[in-house]
Chain A
Amino acid sequence: MERSLFLTQRLTAMALGPLVLVHLGLILFAVKGGLTAEEILLRTQGSVGWALFYGAFVVMASIHGPIGLRNVLREWTDLTTGLINFVTAGFGFLLLFVGIRAVLAVTQTATQISG
């Protein structure tokens, strides 16, 4: 299992690399001329591309992060490995849930943009 987790962490890191760069690039591009909620939502709502992009981001991050957190907890606490596995898996599902929820919220076609 250690080996699979090690590999999974490295491979998700490889996937996250370009995702983070595109995300940062987009931020730099988007803040030129000010940043408003409307502007962001106009770009993302109804866009399958951005939904897939940020969906992949969320999935990779919610796998990658908990594995790292598991390593930190194993080094720095006396908790049993079983408990650490349980807690970090829970953390992974939480990230996945809130992440996917956020992606859906900004990419679903809304009838009305409030504000």
Chain B
Amino acid sequence: MSLDKSVVNVSFLEVKVWRGKDDGELVSYQVPGRENQTVLDVVSEIQRSHEPSLAYRYACRVGVCGSCAMTVNGMPKWTCRTHVKKVMDDGVLTIEPLRNLPRIKDLVCDLSPFIDTWQQAGAPFCGTKTRHEAPANIDPESKARKAADAGLQCINCAVCYSACDVVSWNKDYIGPAGLNRAWTLVNDARHGERQSTFDKAFGSGGCGSCHSQGNCTRHCPIGLSPSESIAGLKKSALFGLPKV
């Protein structure tokens, strides 16, 4: 029998995982530490070797789908792209569900409130042309297009939503991802509802509630800056919608 060399002579990680719903508890597991290991690898190893009933979510494992976010040592992280070594705290790894969302079981949250905020922010795209018309001619170098492009790559992971203190205090607050999305649409010449999106993003629970301290931007795993998008929306309240 060949030995798996990566687990020979290795120390074990102490991993605490949230089990249950709101009234659950942290349960400790010993998982072999490996040279190259993501937090999602650790969770999968626990589920396969220790706790078959452990509930958690993932799909792509390469940072595309946004489904694997959890709270790791107190910080919201995309676990499939988070290396254990980078987040280890005194040899302990504590893994809990995301903050600010209703818990379902173990590491799985109900994302509906987060998804609903996108509607609240006026986020659905509303085209103005039919398939028989020529596509709009957009200058990729224009200021508005660049502002829209800067926020487009969101993977809906809810990491920023979980990082935002205002979301935790004010349940009506749209939060960073929805407002970031609204800002991309306000800058999109092809969007037929720019004014209405802007009005919704500035409605009750809208961007006026943001404290601008940028915790969302600090944690966004793909480097978007929702706080900058929100600042753009706030500026537009004074100077009018951006020219597209």
Contact = CB atoms under 8 A, between A and B. Distances in A.
A23 interface: no
A71 B209 CA distance: 7
A7 B169 contact: no
A2 B206 contact: yes
A22 B77 CA distance: 48
A9 to B, nearest CB: 9
A10 interface: yes
A2 B166 contact: no
Interface in A6-23: 6-7, 10
B195 to A, nearest CB: 12
Contacts of A5: 208
A75 B166 contact: yes
Contacts, number: 28
B11 interface: no
A74 B209 CA distance: 10
Contact of B169 (A6, A76, A81): A76
B104 interface: no
Contacts of B169: 75-76
Nearest to A10: B238
Contacts of B166: 75
A54 B4 CA distance: 79
B208 A3 contact: yes
A31 to B, nearest CB: 36
A2 B203 contact: yes
B69 to A, nearest CB: 24
A5 B202 CA distance: 11
B204 A2 contact: yes
B130 to A, nearest CB: 33
B234 A6 contact: yes
Question: Among the interface residues B202, B206, B208, B209, which one has the most CB atoms of the partner chain A within 10 A?
Answer: B208
B170 A6 contact: no
A12 B203 CA distance: 21
A78 to B, nearest CB: 10
A6 B204 CA distance: 11
Contacts of B199: 3
Nearest to B169: A75
Contacts of A76: 169
Interface string B183-203: 000000000000000010011
B152 interface: no
A5 B237 CA distance: 11
Enumerate the 8 nearest inter-chain pairs by beta-carbon distance, A residue then B residue, closest first.
A6-B208, A75-B169, A3-B202, A2-B208, A75-B170, A3-B237, A2-B204, A7-B237
Interface of A: 2-3, 5-7, 10, 71, 74-76, 81
10 contacts: A2-B202, A2-B203, A2-B206, A2-B208, A6-B202, A7-B238, A10-B238, A71-B208, A75-B166, A75-B170
Given A2-B208, A6-B237, 11 more contacts: A2-B206, A3-B199, A3-B202, A3-B203, A3-B208, A6-B234, A71-B208, A74-B170, A74-B209, A75-B166, A75-B209
